[in-house]
Amino acid sequence: MLIGVPKEIKNHEYRVGMVPASVRELVAHGHQVIVEHNAGIGIGFTDDDYKAVGADIRQTADEIFAEAEMIVKVKEPLAEERARLREGQILFTYLHLAPDTPQTEDLVKSGAVCIAYETVTSDTGGLPLLAPMSEVAGRMSIQAGAQCLEKSQMGRGMLLGGVPGVSPAKVVIIGGGVVGSNAAQIAVGMGAHVAILDRNIDVLRRLNAQFGSSVETVFSSKDALEQHVLAADLVIGGVLIPGAAAPKLVTKEMVHQMKPGAAVVDVAIDQGGCFETSKATTHAEPTYMVDDVVHYCVANMPGAVPHTSTFALNNATLPYIINLANKGYKQALADDKHLLNGLNVYRGQITNQSVADAQNLDFVAPEVALGL
Protein backbone atom coordinates (compact mmCIF):
# COMPACT_ATOMS: atom_id res chain seq x y z
CA MET A 1 0.00 0.00 0.00
CA LEU A 2 1.07 3.59 -0.61
CA ILE A 3 0.80 5.54 2.65
CA GLY A 4 0.96 9.34 2.82
CA VAL A 5 2.01 11.48 5.78
CA PRO A 6 1.14 15.19 5.29
CA LYS A 7 2.45 18.03 7.43
CA GLU A 8 -0.04 19.11 10.09
CA ILE A 9 -1.39 22.63 9.52
CA LYS A 10 -3.54 23.32 12.59
CA ASN A 11 -2.42 26.29 14.69
CA HIS A 12 0.79 25.45 16.55
CA GLU A 13 0.47 21.76 15.70
CA TYR A 14 3.95 20.24 15.45
CA ARG A 15 3.11 16.56 15.78
CA VAL A 16 3.40 14.24 12.80
CA GLY A 17 1.42 11.13 11.85
CA MET A 18 4.46 8.86 11.64
CA VAL A 19 8.03 9.10 12.94
CA PRO A 20 10.89 7.59 10.91
CA ALA A 21 10.93 4.42 13.04
CA SER A 22 7.28 3.78 12.13
CA VAL A 23 8.03 4.39 8.46
CA ARG A 24 10.85 1.86 8.66
CA GLU A 25 8.43 -0.78 9.97
CA LEU A 26 6.01 -0.23 7.09
CA VAL A 27 8.79 -0.30 4.49
CA ALA A 28 9.96 -3.58 6.01
CA HIS A 29 6.45 -4.94 5.40
CA GLY A 30 6.78 -4.05 1.72
CA HIS A 31 4.82 -0.81 1.69
CA GLN A 32 5.72 2.58 0.22
CA VAL A 33 5.56 5.72 2.36
CA ILE A 34 5.54 9.30 1.08
CA VAL A 35 6.10 12.17 3.50
CA GLU A 36 5.48 15.86 2.93
CA HIS A 37 8.52 18.13 3.02
CA ASN A 38 9.37 19.11 6.61
CA ALA A 39 6.43 17.15 8.06
CA GLY A 40 8.57 16.01 10.99
CA ILE A 41 10.60 19.15 11.51
CA GLY A 42 8.55 20.18 14.55
CA ILE A 43 9.90 17.21 16.50
CA GLY A 44 13.39 17.37 15.10
CA PHE A 45 13.19 14.97 12.14
CA THR A 46 14.46 16.15 8.76
CA ASP A 47 13.54 14.93 5.29
CA ASP A 48 16.87 13.09 5.26
CA ASP A 49 15.85 11.18 8.40
CA TYR A 50 12.78 9.92 6.55
CA LYS A 51 14.72 9.15 3.38
CA ALA A 52 17.20 7.10 5.43
CA VAL A 53 14.45 4.65 6.42
CA GLY A 54 13.00 4.33 2.91
CA ALA A 55 10.42 7.11 2.63
CA ASP A 56 10.03 9.32 -0.43
CA ILE A 57 9.57 13.05 0.05
CA ARG A 58 6.92 15.14 -1.66
CA GLN A 59 7.03 18.93 -1.69
CA THR A 60 3.32 19.61 -1.21
CA ALA A 61 0.25 18.27 0.54
CA ASP A 62 -1.50 18.17 -2.83
CA GLU A 63 0.95 15.49 -3.98
CA ILE A 64 0.53 13.47 -0.78
CA PHE A 65 -3.27 13.42 -0.99
CA ALA A 66 -3.29 12.80 -4.74
CA GLU A 67 -1.02 9.76 -4.58
CA ALA A 68 -1.61 8.01 -1.25
CA GLU A 69 -4.08 5.19 -0.74
CA MET A 70 -4.07 5.85 3.02
CA ILE A 71 -3.51 9.20 4.74
CA VAL A 72 -2.09 9.00 8.28
CA LYS A 73 -2.45 12.22 10.29
CA VAL A 74 -2.73 13.43 13.85
CA LYS A 75 -5.45 16.09 13.92
CA GLU A 76 -8.74 16.27 12.05
CA PRO A 77 -8.37 17.49 8.46
CA LEU A 78 -9.04 21.18 8.02
CA ALA A 79 -11.27 22.40 5.16
CA GLU A 80 -8.44 22.67 2.64
CA GLU A 81 -7.31 19.13 3.48
CA ARG A 82 -10.82 17.72 3.31
CA ALA A 83 -11.14 19.16 -0.20
CA ARG A 84 -8.22 16.94 -1.26
CA LEU A 85 -9.74 13.66 -0.08
CA ARG A 86 -11.07 11.32 -2.74
CA GLU A 87 -13.53 8.45 -2.88
CA GLY A 88 -12.24 5.23 -1.33
CA GLN A 89 -9.14 6.86 0.16
CA ILE A 90 -8.44 5.81 3.76
CA LEU A 91 -8.11 8.58 6.35
CA PHE A 92 -6.69 7.43 9.69
CA THR A 93 -6.51 10.22 12.30
CA TYR A 94 -8.35 11.91 15.14
CA LEU A 95 -11.69 13.23 13.88
CA HIS A 96 -13.91 14.28 16.84
CA LEU A 97 -16.92 14.61 14.55
CA ALA A 98 -19.77 14.88 17.07
CA PRO A 99 -19.49 18.68 17.59
CA ASP A 100 -18.13 19.43 14.10
CA THR A 101 -20.86 19.68 11.46
CA PRO A 102 -18.73 21.17 8.64
CA GLN A 103 -16.13 18.44 8.91
CA THR A 104 -18.79 15.72 9.05
CA GLU A 105 -20.50 17.08 5.93
CA ASP A 106 -17.21 17.32 4.03
CA LEU A 107 -16.12 13.79 4.93
CA VAL A 108 -19.49 12.41 3.87
CA LYS A 109 -19.21 14.23 0.53
CA SER A 110 -15.65 13.02 -0.03
CA GLY A 111 -16.59 9.34 -0.20
CA ALA A 112 -13.47 8.54 1.82
CA VAL A 113 -13.07 5.75 4.39
CA CYS A 114 -12.60 7.69 7.63
CA ILE A 115 -11.34 5.82 10.69
CA ALA A 116 -11.12 7.85 13.91
CA TYR A 117 -8.44 7.13 16.47
CA GLU A 118 -10.72 8.22 19.30
CA THR A 119 -13.42 5.56 18.75
CA VAL A 120 -11.17 2.51 18.25
CA THR A 121 -11.82 0.26 21.26
CA SER A 122 -10.07 -2.56 23.11
CA ASP A 123 -10.97 -5.83 24.81
CA THR A 124 -10.82 -4.10 28.19
CA GLY A 125 -13.31 -1.43 27.16
CA GLY A 126 -10.69 1.27 26.78
CA LEU A 127 -9.82 3.60 23.92
CA PRO A 128 -6.22 2.62 23.12
CA LEU A 129 -5.55 5.31 20.51
CA LEU A 130 -7.07 8.11 22.58
CA ALA A 131 -5.42 7.07 25.83
CA PRO A 132 -1.86 8.29 25.03
CA MET A 133 -3.08 11.79 24.22
CA SER A 134 -5.44 11.76 27.20
CA GLU A 135 -2.44 10.94 29.39
CA VAL A 136 -0.53 13.87 27.92
CA ALA A 137 -3.48 16.28 28.08
CA GLY A 138 -4.35 15.25 31.64
CA ARG A 139 -0.83 15.98 32.83
CA MET A 140 -0.62 19.19 30.81
CA SER A 141 -3.94 20.42 32.20
CA ILE A 142 -2.37 20.98 35.60
CA GLN A 143 0.61 22.81 34.11
CA ALA A 144 -1.76 25.02 32.12
CA GLY A 145 -4.06 25.53 35.09
CA ALA A 146 -1.19 26.46 37.38
CA GLN A 147 -0.14 29.16 34.93
CA CYS A 148 -3.73 30.40 34.58
CA LEU A 149 -3.82 31.00 38.33
CA GLU A 150 -0.94 33.48 38.05
CA LYS A 151 -1.98 37.11 38.41
CA SER A 152 -0.40 38.01 35.07
CA GLN A 153 -2.91 35.63 33.46
CA MET A 154 -5.81 37.30 35.34
CA GLY A 155 -5.89 34.42 37.82
CA ARG A 156 -6.20 34.46 41.61
CA GLY A 157 -2.45 34.83 42.07
CA MET A 158 -2.06 31.45 43.76
CA LEU A 159 0.75 28.91 43.77
CA LEU A 160 -0.85 25.54 43.18
CA GLY A 161 0.96 23.80 46.04
CA GLY A 162 1.10 26.78 48.40
CA VAL A 163 4.07 27.12 50.78
CA PRO A 164 4.49 26.30 54.47
CA GLY A 165 1.89 28.33 56.34
CA VAL A 166 -0.16 29.12 53.19
CA SER A 167 -2.89 26.80 51.96
CA PRO A 168 -2.54 25.14 48.55
CA ALA A 169 -5.03 25.65 45.76
CA LYS A 170 -8.11 23.45 45.57
CA VAL A 171 -8.14 21.49 42.30
CA VAL A 172 -11.42 19.85 41.29
CA ILE A 173 -11.21 17.23 38.52
CA ILE A 174 -14.44 16.24 36.80
CA GLY A 175 -14.10 12.69 35.47
CA GLY A 176 -11.86 9.97 36.83
CA GLY A 177 -10.78 8.36 33.57
CA VAL A 178 -7.42 8.60 31.86
CA VAL A 179 -7.43 12.42 31.78
CA GLY A 180 -8.59 12.71 35.37
CA SER A 181 -6.20 10.20 36.88
CA ASN A 182 -3.22 11.73 35.06
CA ALA A 183 -4.26 15.23 36.07
CA ALA A 184 -4.56 14.07 39.67
CA GLN A 185 -1.10 12.53 39.58
CA ILE A 186 0.50 15.85 38.65
CA ALA A 187 -1.71 17.95 40.94
CA VAL A 188 -0.92 15.72 43.92
CA GLY A 189 2.77 15.86 43.04
CA MET A 190 2.62 19.67 43.05
CA GLY A 191 1.04 19.68 46.49
CA ALA A 192 -2.48 20.81 45.62
CA HIS A 193 -5.64 19.81 47.46
CA VAL A 194 -7.33 17.49 44.94
CA ALA A 195 -10.91 16.28 44.60
CA ILE A 196 -12.02 13.95 41.79
CA LEU A 197 -15.68 13.59 40.85
CA ASP A 198 -17.09 10.63 38.95
CA ARG A 199 -20.39 8.76 38.76
CA ASN A 200 -18.82 5.30 38.60
CA ILE A 201 -18.18 3.81 42.04
CA ASP A 202 -15.63 1.36 40.63
CA VAL A 203 -13.67 4.29 39.18
CA LEU A 204 -13.72 6.01 42.57
CA ARG A 205 -12.49 2.80 44.22
CA ARG A 206 -9.64 2.57 41.71
CA LEU A 207 -8.65 6.17 42.34
CA ASN A 208 -8.80 5.65 46.09
CA ALA A 209 -6.54 2.61 45.77
CA GLN A 210 -4.14 4.59 43.55
CA PHE A 211 -3.94 7.82 45.55
CA GLY A 212 -5.18 6.94 49.02
CA SER A 213 -5.75 9.96 51.23
CA SER A 214 -3.89 12.24 48.79
CA VAL A 215 -7.15 12.86 46.92
CA GLU A 216 -10.78 13.21 47.86
CA THR A 217 -13.03 10.95 45.78
CA VAL A 218 -16.57 12.27 45.33
CA PHE A 219 -19.66 10.74 43.75
CA SER A 220 -20.72 13.28 41.14
CA SER A 221 -24.28 14.26 41.98
CA LYS A 222 -25.55 17.66 40.86
CA ASP A 223 -25.27 18.92 44.42
CA ALA A 224 -21.71 17.65 44.92
CA LEU A 225 -20.59 19.01 41.54
CA GLU A 226 -21.93 22.47 42.32
CA GLN A 227 -20.42 22.57 45.82
CA HIS A 228 -16.96 21.53 44.67
CA VAL A 229 -16.87 23.72 41.55
CA LEU A 230 -17.85 26.82 43.52
CA ALA A 231 -15.17 26.10 46.13
CA ALA A 232 -12.46 25.39 43.55
CA ASP A 233 -9.51 27.49 42.50
CA LEU A 234 -8.92 25.30 39.44
CA VAL A 235 -11.42 22.99 37.71
CA ILE A 236 -10.31 20.39 35.16
CA GLY A 237 -12.97 19.07 32.76
CA GLY A 238 -12.07 15.53 31.73
CA VAL A 239 -15.41 13.90 30.91
CA LEU A 240 -15.63 11.73 27.80
CA ILE A 241 -18.45 9.82 26.13
CA PRO A 242 -16.76 7.91 23.27
CA GLY A 243 -17.60 9.49 19.93
CA ALA A 244 -20.31 11.73 21.38
CA ALA A 245 -20.43 15.38 22.32
CA ALA A 246 -19.28 16.02 25.87
CA PRO A 247 -22.07 16.70 28.38
CA LYS A 248 -22.30 20.32 29.59
CA LEU A 249 -21.88 19.58 33.28
CA VAL A 250 -20.78 23.02 34.52
CA THR A 251 -23.44 25.61 33.75
CA LYS A 252 -23.01 29.32 33.00
CA GLU A 253 -24.60 30.07 36.36
CA MET A 254 -22.04 27.93 38.17
CA VAL A 255 -19.19 29.68 36.37
CA HIS A 256 -20.74 33.03 37.30
CA GLN A 257 -20.64 32.00 40.98
CA MET A 258 -17.03 30.75 40.95
CA LYS A 259 -14.30 32.67 42.78
CA PRO A 260 -12.94 35.68 40.86
CA GLY A 261 -9.65 34.63 39.26
CA ALA A 262 -10.44 30.92 39.42
CA ALA A 263 -9.49 28.90 36.34
CA VAL A 264 -11.02 26.16 34.25
CA VAL A 265 -9.18 23.86 31.84
CA ASP A 266 -11.57 22.04 29.50
CA VAL A 267 -9.74 18.98 28.21
CA ALA A 268 -13.02 17.78 26.67
CA ILE A 269 -13.08 20.72 24.24
CA ASP A 270 -12.29 18.45 21.26
CA GLN A 271 -15.74 16.94 21.84
CA GLY A 272 -17.41 20.30 22.44
CA GLY A 273 -16.39 20.84 26.05
CA CYS A 274 -18.06 20.12 29.38
CA PHE A 275 -18.46 23.76 30.50
CA GLU A 276 -21.33 25.77 29.02
CA THR A 277 -18.94 28.70 28.72
CA SER A 278 -16.28 26.77 26.76
CA LYS A 279 -15.20 27.64 23.23
CA ALA A 280 -12.19 26.21 21.44
CA THR A 281 -8.97 28.24 21.62
CA THR A 282 -5.49 27.84 20.15
CA HIS A 283 -1.97 27.74 21.52
CA ALA A 284 -1.50 31.22 20.07
CA GLU A 285 -4.40 32.61 22.16
CA PRO A 286 -5.12 29.91 24.74
CA THR A 287 -7.29 31.75 27.28
CA TYR A 288 -10.24 34.09 27.63
CA MET A 289 -12.31 35.41 30.52
CA VAL A 290 -15.94 34.75 31.44
CA ASP A 291 -17.26 36.32 34.64
CA ASP A 292 -13.71 36.82 35.97
CA VAL A 293 -12.94 33.11 35.47
CA VAL A 294 -9.93 32.22 33.30
CA HIS A 295 -10.85 29.67 30.60
CA TYR A 296 -8.16 27.53 28.94
CA CYS A 297 -9.77 25.55 26.11
CA VAL A 298 -7.00 24.66 23.64
CA ALA A 299 -8.32 22.00 21.28
CA ASN A 300 -4.94 20.36 20.60
CA MET A 301 -3.22 20.54 23.98
CA PRO A 302 -0.73 17.72 23.33
CA GLY A 303 0.51 19.67 20.30
CA ALA A 304 2.47 21.86 22.72
CA VAL A 305 4.71 18.89 23.60
CA PRO A 306 4.94 17.31 20.13
CA HIS A 307 8.00 15.16 20.78
CA THR A 308 6.41 13.31 23.69
CA SER A 309 2.98 13.26 22.06
CA THR A 310 4.08 11.98 18.64
CA PHE A 311 6.06 9.08 20.01
CA ALA A 312 3.28 8.16 22.46
CA LEU A 313 0.73 8.23 19.65
CA ASN A 314 2.89 6.26 17.21
CA ASN A 315 3.44 3.55 19.80
CA ALA A 316 -0.32 3.03 19.86
CA THR A 317 -1.26 3.56 16.20
CA LEU A 318 1.52 1.65 14.41
CA PRO A 319 0.05 -1.88 14.81
CA TYR A 320 -3.25 -0.66 13.33
CA ILE A 321 -1.51 1.14 10.45
CA ILE A 322 0.41 -2.04 9.64
CA ASN A 323 -2.77 -4.14 9.68
CA LEU A 324 -4.63 -1.71 7.43
CA ALA A 325 -1.71 -1.68 5.00
CA ASN A 326 -1.08 -5.42 5.04
CA LYS A 327 -4.70 -6.54 4.74
CA GLY A 328 -6.44 -3.60 3.09
CA TYR A 329 -9.11 -1.76 5.02
CA LYS A 330 -11.98 -4.17 4.35
CA GLN A 331 -10.20 -7.24 5.66
CA ALA A 332 -8.56 -5.36 8.52
CA LEU A 333 -11.93 -4.00 9.67
CA ALA A 334 -13.60 -7.39 9.23
CA ASP A 335 -10.92 -9.10 11.33
CA ASP A 336 -10.91 -6.60 14.20
CA LYS A 337 -14.19 -5.52 15.77
CA HIS A 338 -12.35 -2.88 17.79
CA LEU A 339 -10.85 -1.26 14.70
CA LEU A 340 -14.30 -1.48 13.10
CA ASN A 341 -15.61 0.67 15.95
CA GLY A 342 -13.22 3.33 14.68
CA LEU A 343 -15.00 3.58 11.33
CA ASN A 344 -16.95 6.86 11.51
CA VAL A 345 -17.65 7.64 7.85
CA TYR A 346 -17.68 5.10 5.02
CA ARG A 347 -18.18 6.21 1.42
CA GLY A 348 -20.81 8.82 2.26
CA GLN A 349 -22.45 7.01 5.18
CA ILE A 350 -22.20 7.74 8.91
CA THR A 351 -21.14 4.50 10.59
CA ASN A 352 -20.83 5.68 14.20
CA GLN A 353 -24.04 5.89 16.20
CA SER A 354 -22.90 8.71 18.49
CA VAL A 355 -21.82 10.88 15.56
CA ALA A 356 -25.10 10.23 13.73
CA ASP A 357 -27.10 11.14 16.83
CA ALA A 358 -25.08 14.31 17.48
CA GLN A 359 -25.43 15.46 13.87
CA ASN A 360 -29.03 14.26 13.44
CA LEU A 361 -28.01 12.12 10.46
CA ASP A 362 -28.90 8.61 9.38
CA PHE A 363 -26.79 5.85 10.91
CA VAL A 364 -25.66 2.78 9.00
CA ALA A 365 -24.06 -0.01 11.02
CA PRO A 366 -20.45 -0.45 9.90
CA GLU A 367 -21.00 -4.16 9.27
CA VAL A 368 -23.89 -3.33 6.97
CA ALA A 369 -21.97 -0.57 5.16
CA LEU A 370 -19.06 -2.93 4.51
CA GLY A 371 -21.29 -5.87 3.63
CA LEU A 372 -19.81 -8.08 6.35
Catalytic residue selected from 31, 228, 270, 295: 270
* Closest to 197 measured CA to CA, from 213, 230, 221: 221
- Assign 350 to helix, strand or coil: strand
Q: Is 96 considered catalytic here?
A: yes
Find residue 116's DSSP bridge partners: 93
- Measured distance CA(16)–CA(9) in Å, rounded: 10
- Measured distance CA(75)–CA(303) in Å, rounded: 9
- Measured distance CA(132)–CA(314) in Å, rounded: 9
Q: How far is CA 302 from the centre of its chain?
A: 8
- Assign 71 to helix, strand or coil: strand
Residues 6+ apart with CB under 8 A from 129: 117, 118, 120, 313, 316, 317, 320, 342
- Assign 9 to helix, strand or coil: coil
Catalytic residue selected from 31, 96, 228, 295: 96
* Closest to 159 measured CA to CA, from 170, 172, 168, 148: 168
Active site residues: 96, 270
